Amino acid sequence: MERDDFLAFAKERLTVKRYIHTIGVMETAIKLAEKYGVDVKKAETAAILHDIAKYEDIEKMEQIVKDHLNDELLGWGGEIMHGPVGAWIIKQELHIDDEDILNAIRYHTTGRAKMTDLEKVIYVSDMIEPNRKFDGVEKLRKKAEKSLDDAMKDCVRHTISFLVDSKQPIFPQSILCFNDLYRED
């Protein structure tokens, strides 16, 4: 399967707004991958497919999690499940077995400790793609031009701060990601 097939697969499952976001993530991820020596084709594929499960029924997501994934994902809602569930769906339906691509999709919302550069490219691109509009996004875009690791640190800090400020619970994996990035070693 090729780029156009993945785009068609995404378009079928997303709203127009989410599809436009997906194109933005794809274009940003290609640029960052080229800049930081990451496999461009893998970045493109992961970006196109990263939000594929965003609008899946909650019941269906929970069933997939119960049958095939980690129970720790239960009780956190669709936002926490759509990455891991999306990775599972594209493995089953598109027969994508590349663990680098699957992990970039799995961890695009929460991050995790010890992320690969491809995972960071997708996480950062998801936050800074051109259609994103929030206070501080321009600063994050500038950071991403200078350093992938520094951009990742700032993006994760932004997410955690946002969650704290809006009184939302933080998924343990998100905290492990933050600690991994900010621990001096």
Using the contact rule CB under 5 A, the part of the chain among 33-41, 50-58, 64-72, 139-147 near Fe ion is 50-58
For residues 95 and 5, the answer to whether their CB atoms sit within 8 Å is no
Q: How far apart are CA 101 and CA 6, in angstroms?
A: 13
Half-sphere exposure of 109 (CA within 13 A, CB side): 23
CB of 170 to Fe ion, least distance (A): 16
Using the contact rule CB under 6 A, the part of the chain among 28-36, 39-47, 90-98, 107-115 near ligand GDP is 107-115
Does 58 engage in binding with ligand GDP (CB under 6 A)?
no
Q: How far apart are CA 34 and CA 42, in angstroms?
A: 11
CA dist list (Å): 7 to 16, 22, 54, 60, 105:
12, 9, 15, 23, 15
In the structure encoding, which two tokens stand for residue 30, read together?
Answer: 């290609």
For residues 117 and 183, the answer to whether their CB atoms sit within 8 Å is no
Does 108 engage in binding with ligand GDP (CB under 6 A)?
yes
Does 70 engage in binding with ligand GDP (CB under 6 A)?
no
Nearer to ligand GDP, 38 or 173 (CB): 173
For residues 105 and 49, the answer to whether their CB atoms sit within 8 Å is yes
Does 109 engage in binding with ligand GDP (CB under 6 A)?
yes
Among 44, 51, 62, 119, contact with ligand GDP (rule: CB under 6 A)? 51
In the structure encoding, which two tokens stand for residue 27, read together?
Answer: 């274009």
Nearer to ligand GDP, 28 or 174 (CB): 174
Does 28 engage in binding with ligand GDP (CB under 6 A)?
no
Nearer to Fe ion, 48 or 181 (CB): 48
Q: How far apart are CA 33 and CA 52, in angstroms?
A: 21
Using the contact rule CB under 6 A, the part of the chain among 40-48, 98-106, 148-156, 162-170 near ligand GDP is 162-170
Tokens 């196109």 belong to which residue? 48
Does 126 engage in binding with Fe ion (CB under 5 A)?
yes
Does 170 engage in binding with ligand GDP (CB under 6 A)?
yes
> For binding to ligand GDP (CB under 6 A), which residues are involved?
51, 54, 79-80, 108-110, 126, 159, 162-163, 168-171, 174
